[in-house]
Amino acid sequence: MRIDILTILPKLLESPFSISIMQRAQEKGHVEIYVHNIRDYATNKHKNVDDYQYGGGAGMVMSIEPIASLIEKLCEERTYDEIIYMTPDGEVLAQNHCNDLSLSKNLIILCGHYKGVDERIREKYITREISIGSYVLSGGELAAAVLVDAIVRLIPGVLNDETSALTDSFQDKLLSPPVYTRPPEFKGLKVPDVLLSGNTKEIEYWREEKALERTKERRPDLLEE
Ligand code: 6GU
């Protein structure tokens, strides 16, 4: 998979992909992540990437031209499965979207800023608009990092058996059960006996029960879908 991220703040995206699982995914060749600075495609002498909005009102709008020329350059080089715009008014991201997107070959992710991009960018180029939740971030970069992480860890080979995505919360529409490690007792708090029993069938049953109980308690909406 190849992911091209378009941003006016490339620095914000330096560390998320250079550590741990995301770093290893790139080193092993499962994904190539390119961060492009939209400002490099600004044509005016001040390298502006935003402008006042027509009709008046507070807040700048991201200009069409630098974004358009970057997207068109990339699209001449290869075909993209989706051109995604990260925006608080997009569709709220869920695990099923990540599962689908993890099957992509090439993705473009545009990070929104200020009051957003000129609407014509959305009309002409964007195939999908994604939000990561009902709150506002200063820009789309952190949201893009969340999206990329959620997608890349699903590419076969990125996770090993121990970290397998198949047992993640949400993959079966359930939250994960509680987990424990040593010591067996901490300040009077004991690890449930069943987990120390060695009875794999009972342990599996206990985990399913706890996952269901936890989901009913914390996320009943997941069970209604
Ligand atoms: Cl994608 N962008 C911004 N700026 N804020 C958000 C978001 C995206 N998703 C949730 N809040």
Q: Is the CB of residue 84 less than 8 Å from the CB of residue 131?
A: no
**Nearest Cα to Cα of residue 84 among 155, 156, 140:** 140
**What mean pLDDT is reported for the chain?**
96
Q: Is the CB of residue 38 less than 8 Å from the CB of residue 49?
A: yes
Pocket of ligand 1 (CB under 6 A): 86-88, 112, 131-133, 135-137, 139-140, 143
Q: Summarize pLDDT for 178-199 with one digit per residue, the tens.
A: 999 999 999 999 999 999 999 9
Residue 74 identity (one-letter amino acid): L
Q: Is 95 helix (H, G, I), strand (E, B) or coil?
A: helix
Dist. CA 34–CA 110, nearest whole Å: 12
Determine the distance from the C-alpha atom of residue 172 to the mean position of all C-alpha atoms in its chain, rounded to a whole number: 19
Domains of the chain with CATH codes:
2-152 (3.40.1280.10), 169-224 (1.10.1270.20)
Task: Give the number of the atom of ligand 1 that is nearest the alpha carbon of residue 132.
Answer: 9
Q: Summarize pLDDT for 135-150 with one digit per residue, the tens.
A: 999 999 999 999 999 9
Distance from the alpha carbon of residue 27 to the mean position of ligand 1, in angstroms: 29
- Residue 163 is predicted with a pLDDT of 63
- Residue 172 is predicted with a pLDDT of 81
How many CB atoms sit inside 10 A of residue 217's CB? 9
Q: Is the CB of residue 148 less than 8 Å from the CB of residue 111?
A: no
52: CB partners within 8 A, 6+ apart: 60, 61
Q: Summarize pLDDT for 40-92 with one digit per residue, the tens.
A: 999 999 999 999 999 999 999 999 999 999 999 999 999 999 999 999 999 99
Task: Give the number of the atom of ligand 1 that is nearest the alpha carbon of residue 144.
Answer: 1
The predicted model scores a pTM of 0.95
* Length in residues, the chain: 225
Q: Is the CB of residue 147 less than 8 Å from the CB of residue 86?
A: yes
